């Protein structure tokens, strides 16, 4: 009985008793959810346009952030370094398309997945060779991003909001909104979706696969850069970030692999879910559930809604 | 000019294939095949399964590159070409197994066919405003005309994956028409259809040919349809051309009858 009480009653009593603390936990969860969403967004972009699960998205985040910090360390002004990094992401997209994917048109998805895994390990090695393996500090202030924090009196307590977290949320919202319009309303967006659905048919209506893939990898590169800046501002810029990117997997399972809104909602569910789980239920099993709770949530979704919340329903004619 | 074949129609040549040979490894899918397609005609390509008909279409629209031979389209000779370039020069096609963009609506599928008619660059597209928006609206009008033409108004917003097979084939035709092609390649447009759907599709093909003036190359197994629709027929068997001419002549040709009935050579 005591255990049941601790699982089903006590956490909720705590939430009601200390509502300001609960709000703080919610906010923290929300912010990490936004960051998960940003990472997931990079995956969704490439998956939508080529049907490839881009294993390399995580390392692209690290690579973008390291390039930015590295260029600044070379003495470039912050905004010039930012522009140059965007240039680097374009070169990366172009090179990846020209050297790898252009040769893999019409190959099975698993081949494309293997290619992105190969790309991941190449970028890890190349990144360590160029930038070194030490963690670096993100140039948050130099980029004009806010760094302070504000405390609010709510419900008889204090809730502290970091300004960088607010900025991250706003930037993520803008990115998502513009990508959604781009995908659904424009010629290039339509071409991207067409390529995702059927390579041959897309070619037959005059869509150039090469061009589309460069665009989509470039877009994913820009999303990776934004993610890298935001994550980097909260911790350090290091290769460990690459592992965090795998959190995008449960996010995508919850939200659906092909949906931009799905990436956002999935990210928030995972982010908030794992924070609340950690704080209120974690102590029951000695803590540390944050690292695996996301995958459990994803498993439950797989059982009941395998296409995810916003995924395209799988209809197969037999 | 090439020497006239038997059954040569009068008029301007739209497309000519000249001594095309295509092999995959040791398998020769097409051997020394030549024929032409006149501007404004409906040209049927028939033959038993595995005769090389679809391979021939794939050669014409650039999916396959023949080892030997030349293709001239509107007087321009070429050896190999990318599908993108073929589309750009006015060759559209449909596929034997419906190849639609399954996740997209009927409207988006047809709009995808307008890709080459829309020219605003990446940055205008990102803005989705001003000239890019005007271009979108203008092309949408054109697409609506095609939707009216093929009578698919009711399924405009339906994801094509949910449509019955016959309608999917029609949407695929709509997408090809959205390209405003000079030459339309139809790979078994009536395969798997019931009688009523076949009649509808035949009517649309004739309308496209007569009202829009589109030249059509057609692969079809239903001989009744072929004889009714086509101006001239080319017959392939085991990758070789065995007959070429007006439907009545081809129907009476002993080689063709043998090929279909499987008489020992």
pLDDT, one tens digit per residue, over A132-164 is 878 888 888 888 888 888 888 877 778 888 888
| Alpha carbon distance B25, B8 (integer Å) | 34
Per-residue pLDDT reduced to its tens digit, B164-219: 888 899 999 999 999 999 999 999 998 888 888 899 999 999 999 999 899 999 99
User: Hey, is the C-beta of B260 within 8 angstroms of any chain A C-beta?
Assistant: no
Tell which wins on pLDDT, A177 or A81.
Answer: A81
B112 and A207 within 8 Å at the Cβ level: the answer is: yes
User: Hey, is the C-beta of A179 within 8 angstroms of any chain B C-beta?
Assistant: no
B112 and A203 within 8 Å at the Cβ level: the answer is: no
| Alpha carbon distance A317, B164 (integer Å) | 10
Q: Contact, A135 vs A69, CB < 8 A?
A: no
- Tell me the nearest-neighbour CA distance from B198 into chain A, angstroms: 21
Of A199-213, B6-20, B143-157, give the lowest mean pLDDT range: B6-20
Residues in chain A with CB shorter than 8 Å from the CB of B92 are 204-205
E strand or H helix at B21, and its extent?
Answer: strand B13-24
Per-residue pLDDT reduced to its tens digit, A18-39: 888 888 899 999 998 988 888 8
- pLDDT given at position B252: 87
Query: Binning pLDDT at 50, 70 and 90, where does residue B127 land?
Result: low
User: Hey, is the C-beta of A187 within 8 angstroms of any chain B C-beta?
Assistant: yes
Q: Give me the count of residues in chain A.
A: 318
User: pLDDT averaged over chain A?
Assistant: 85
Bridge pairing between strands B13-24 and B68-73: antiparallel
Residues in chain B with CB shorter than 8 Å from the CB of A200 are 63, 95, 99
B125 and A182 within 8 Å at the Cβ level: the answer is: yes
- Tell me the nearest-neighbour CA distance from B172 into chain A, angstroms: 10
In the predicted model, what is the mean pLDDT of residues B93-112? 88
User: Hey, is the C-beta of B257 within 8 angstroms of any chain A C-beta?
Assistant: no
In the predicted model, what is the mean pLDDT of residues B34-47? 92
Domains and CATH numbers, chain A: 2-10+26-304 (1.10.3470)
| Alpha carbon distance A295, A159 (integer Å) | 29
| Alpha carbon distance A132, A310 (integer Å) | 40
- Tell me the nearest-neighbour CA distance from A183 into chain B, angstroms: 9
| Alpha carbon distance B260, B48 (integer Å) | 6
Segments of chain B assigned to CATH 3.40.50.300: 1-90+181-265
User: Hey, is the C-beta of B114 within 8 angstroms of any chain A C-beta?
Assistant: yes
Reduced to 3 states, what is the DSSP secondary structure of residue B113?
coil
Query: Binning pLDDT at 50, 70 and 90, where does residue B6 land?
Result: very low
- pLDDT given at position B265: 52
E strand or H helix at A251, and its extent?
Answer: helix A248-255
- pLDDT given at position B35: 92
Q: Contact, A40 vs A252, CB < 8 A?
A: yes
Tell which wins on pLDDT, A303 or B117.
Answer: A303
| Alpha carbon distance B186, B193 (integer Å) | 15
Name the residue among A254, A270, A272 with its Cα closest to residue A262. Answer: A254
- pLDDT given at position B123: 62
Residues in chain B with CB shorter than 8 Å from the CB of A185 are 128, 136
| Alpha carbon distance B59, B63 (integer Å) | 6
Of A153-157, A300-304, B75-79, give the lowest mean pLDDT range: A153-157
- pLDDT given at position B2: 39
| Alpha carbon distance A121, B174 (integer Å) | 45
Bridge pairing between strands B215-219 and B42-46: parallel
* Tally of CB atoms within 10 A around B210: 11
Q: Contact, B101 vs B108, CB < 8 A?
A: yes
| Alpha carbon distance A134, A261 (integer Å) | 35
Q: How would you label A189-217 residue by residue, b for 16+ Cβ within 10 Å and e otherwise?
A: bbbbbbbbbbbebbbbbbbbbeebbbbbb
Which residue, among B126, B136, B184, B192, would best test binding to A if mutated, counting the most A CBs under 10 Å from its CB?
B126
| Alpha carbon distance B155, B193 (integer Å) | 19
User: pLDDT averaged over chain B?
Assistant: 85
- Tell me the nearest-neighbour CA distance from A1 into chain B, angstroms: 50
| Alpha carbon distance A72, A76 (integer Å) | 5
Query: Binning pLDDT at 50, 70 and 90, where does residue B9 land?
Result: very low
- Tell me the nearest-neighbour CA distance from B115 into chain A, angstroms: 6
In the predicted model, what is the mean pLDDT of residues A109-135? 89
Of residues B101, B128, B132, nearest to A194 (C-beta): B101
Q: Which two tokens stand for residue B97?
A: 């197994």
| Alpha carbon distance A85, A68 (integer Å) | 6
Name the residue among A218, A253, A238, A184 with its Cα closest to residue A36. Answer: A253
| Alpha carbon distance B152, B174 (integer Å) | 9
Evaluate if residue A256 carries a pLDDT over 90: no
Residues in chain A with CB shorter than 8 Å from the CB of B128 are 181-182, 185-186
Burial (CB < 10 A; 0-12, 13-18, 19+), residue A251, is buried
| Alpha carbon distance B134, B229 (integer Å) | 39
Of A235-244, A246-255, B62-71, B228-237, give the lowest mean pLDDT range: A235-244
What 8-state DSSP symbol labels residue B105? B
Q: Contact, A230 vs A164, CB < 8 A?
A: yes
Partner residues linked to A113 by β-bridges: none
Query: Binning pLDDT at 50, 70 and 90, where does residue B138 land?
Result: confident
Query: Binning pLDDT at 50, 70 and 90, where does residue B8 land?
Result: very low
| Alpha carbon distance A219, B6 (integer Å) | 56
**Phi then psi dihedrals of residue B187, to 5 deg:** -100, 105
User: Hey, is the C-beta of A203 within 8 angstroms of any chain B C-beta?
Assistant: yes
User: Hey, is the C-beta of B175 within 8 angstroms of any chain A C-beta?
Assistant: yes
The answer regarding whether domain B1-90+181-265 maps to CATH 3.40.30.10 reads no
For B:131-150, CB contacts with A below 8 A are 132, 135-136
């Amino acid at each position: 009985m005591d255990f049941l009480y601790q699982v089903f009653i006590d956490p909720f009593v705590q939430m009601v008793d200390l509502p300001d603390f609960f709000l703080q936990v919610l906010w923290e969860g929300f912010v990490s959810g936004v960051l998960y969403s940003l990472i997931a967004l990079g995956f969704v972009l490439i998956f939508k346009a080529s049907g490839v699960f881009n294993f390399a998205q995580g390392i692209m985040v690290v690579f973008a952030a390291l390039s930015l910090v590295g260029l600044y360390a070379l003495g470039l002004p912050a905004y010039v370094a930012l522009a140059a990094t965007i240039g680097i992401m374009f070169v990366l997209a172009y090179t990846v398309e020209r050297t790898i994917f252009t040769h893999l048109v019409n190959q099975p998805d698993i081949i494309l997945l293997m290619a992105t895994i190969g790309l991941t390990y190449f970028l890890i090695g190349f990144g360590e060779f160029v930038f070194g393996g030490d963690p670096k500090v993100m140039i948050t202030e130099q980029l004009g991003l806010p760094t302070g924090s504000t405390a609010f009196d709510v419900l008889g307590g204090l809730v502290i909001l970091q300004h960088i977290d607010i900025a991250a949320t706003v930037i993520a919202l803008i990115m998502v909104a513009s990508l959604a319009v781009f995908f659904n309303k424009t010629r290039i967006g339509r071409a991207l979706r067409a390529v995702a659905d059927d390579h041959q048919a897309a070619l037959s209506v005059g869509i150039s696969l090469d061009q589309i893939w460069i665009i989509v990898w470039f877009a994913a590169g820009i999303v990776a850069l934004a993610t890298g800046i935001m994550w980097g501002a909260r911790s350090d810029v290091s290769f460990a970030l690459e592992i965090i990117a795998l959190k995008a997997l449960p996010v995508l399972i919850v939200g659906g692999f092909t949906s931009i809104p799905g990436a956002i909602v999935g990210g928030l569910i995972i982010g908030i879910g794992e924070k609340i789980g950690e704080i209120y239920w974690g102590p029951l099993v000695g803590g540390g559930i944050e690292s695996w709770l996301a995958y459990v949530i994803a498993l439950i979704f797989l059982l009941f809604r395998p296409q995810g919340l916003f995924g395209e329903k799988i209809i197969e004619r037999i | 000019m090439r020497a006239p074949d038997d059954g040569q129609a009068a008029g301007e040549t739209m497309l000519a294939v000249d001594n095309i040979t295509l092999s995959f490894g040791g398998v020769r899918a097409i051997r020394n095949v030549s024929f032409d397609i006149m501007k404004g005609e409906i040209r049927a390509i028939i033959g038993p399964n595995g005769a090389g008909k679809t391979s021939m279409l794939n050669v014409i629209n650039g999916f396959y590159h023949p080892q030997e031979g030349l293709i001239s389209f509107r007087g321009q000779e070429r050896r190999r070409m990318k599908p993108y370039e073929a589309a750009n020069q006015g060759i559209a096609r449909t596929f034997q197994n419906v190849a639609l963009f399954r996740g997209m609506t009927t409207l988006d599928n047809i709009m995808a066919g307008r890709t080459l008619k829309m020219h605003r660059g990446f940055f205008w597209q990102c803005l989705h405003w001003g000239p890019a928006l005007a271009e979108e609206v203008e092309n949408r009008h054109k697409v609506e005309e095609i939707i009216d033409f093929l009578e698919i108004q009711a399924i405009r917003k339906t994801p094509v994956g949910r449509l019955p097979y016959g309608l999917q084939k029609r949407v695929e035709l709509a997408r090809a028409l959205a390209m405003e092609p000079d030459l339309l390649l139809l790979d078994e447009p009536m395969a798997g259809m019931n009688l009523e759907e076949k009649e509808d599709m035949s009517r649309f093909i004739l309308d496209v040919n007569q009202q829009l003036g589109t030249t059509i190359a057609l692969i079809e197994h239903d001989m009744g349809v072929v004889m009714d629709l086509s101006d001239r027929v080319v017959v392939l068997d085991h990758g070789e051309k065995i007959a070429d001419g007006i439907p009545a002549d081809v129907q009476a040709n002993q080689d063709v009858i043998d090929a279909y009935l499987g008489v020992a050579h």
